[in-house]
Amino acid sequence: MGAIHIHGGIPLQGQVMIQGSKNAALPILAASILTKGSNLFSGCPRIADVEQMQMLLRSLGCVVRWEGDKMRVDAHRVCSGSMPREAVTGMRSSLTLLGAMLGRCGQIFLEQPGGCVIGSRPINLHIDALEKMNVKFARGDSILYACTEGLKGAEIHLACPSVGATENIILAAVLADGCTVIHNAAAEPEIVALCAYLNVCGAHIEGAGTACIRIEGVKELTGSAFEIPADRIVAGTYLFACLAAGGSVFLERAPVKEMKAVLEVARALGAGLQCTGTGLYVQAPNTVKSVPCVRTAVYPGFPTDLQSPLLAVLAGGMGKSIVEERIFEDRFRVVPELLRMGAKIRVEEDKTAYVEGQECLRGARVTAGELRGGAALVVAGLGASGETIVEGKKYIDRGYENICRDLRELGARIYSV
């Protein structure tokens, strides 16, 4: 298993380009199978999860290839074949193929999708909503079979604004018979991007980015060119990396409008920030201040995906802070690893972390157990004294194109082995 070596304590300096968004790219790639045509995606991140999605699309009959830095997906011919098990079980986003395949072929066999081990991650909301749209489900030990004799528009009230469920309903609704309305829909920027892409292809979707999304089914979608937006979570990770290590950086293409809650927290920690038309300047404070309490929340709140990197910054800062996790119960799995680096963090009921900043963490050998926790260990290592070795690089590769290259561009001494 690959590892990342970091010589910490070197302030960051310079600029880096923020990659395309993983959580936007994956459902959009899944959505491309709804089009009977050819699609060209620019800004698609070259990450392990995108490779897995490429494999899945190929197994369903799509022709997928890179053309320079753009990805072409030709979905003229799609069949509901069997998909490679590892690609489905290794990645949560394979679940978006459920709505997309029901729209295109009327059926799908799916292994239980995997993804980061950050909580129980049920799929009841997806199933309940699709059943309302005339989908029948059969479940084996680890296999889910779904089929429909024709998708029908429906009025759907989500018990909570699940990102994945909102995506699946939209994907099933665009070619359904009639109108679908989703109440209490997720309003994340990745939903807005998915709907923008589908509308370019000929779908009729209104209200993306609000709690009520209305989808009028159409007969067919055509292939299109589309640019995947920049990744707000990667931008936030590098922002926190700068706060942990010190220095000043420019994050080119950082989607600042989607990062309001993160920027607010960074300012409270003492960061000097300047948003320009092309990105974000970050000036780290000499010592990171504490924050009374940060709670993760659905968009536009503070994203759960940046909770672990924030924890790493606070642990190496000053004073006492509280971090509350409201979305996924297992997001504090990174805490024992941070403790090895000298952090003082106490977690209560998997919901609240009490952090006592140590001003500087110390390098150690630590292990990533999932994607964002792994990124947090890199952030911690950049601010720590001495050498940090982060094992489990494969988890970080799921969402970061090349975290070592990006951080080296900012002057960090970091390399992978």
Positions that interact with ligand UD1 (CB under 6 A): 23, 26, 92-93, 119, 121-126, 160, 162-165, 186, 190, 304-305, 327-328
196: alpha, beta or left? (left if phi > 0; alpha if psi -120 to 50): alpha
Between 6 and 123, whose beta carbon lies closer to ligand UD1? Answer: 123
Between 24 and 364, whose beta carbon lies closer to ligand UD1? Answer: 24
Residues 295, 298, 300, 302: what is their CA dihedral angle, to the nearest 10 degrees? 30
Rounded Cα distance, 130 and 366, in Å: 42
Between 122 and 277, whose beta carbon lies closer to ligand UD1? Answer: 122
- CB 222 within 8 Å of CB 35: yes
Question: Which residues are within 8 A (CB) of 97 and not within 5 positions of it... i.e. 6 or more apart?
Answer: 30, 33, 56, 60, 83, 108, 110
C-alpha angle 11/13/16, rounded to 5°?
Answer: 130
Between 47 and 125, whose beta carbon lies closer to ligand UD1? Answer: 125
Render 323-341 in DSSP notation, one character per residue.
EE--S-TTGGGGHHHHHHT
- 105 belongs to the catalytic site: no
Q: At 10, is the secondary structure helix, strand, or coil?
A: coil
**Residue recorded with tokens 């990396």:** 241
- CB 361 within 8 Å of CB 341: yes
The residue number whose beta carbon is nearest to ligand UD1 equals 164
Between 312 and 384, whose beta carbon lies closer to ligand UD1? Answer: 312
Residues taking part in catalysis: 116
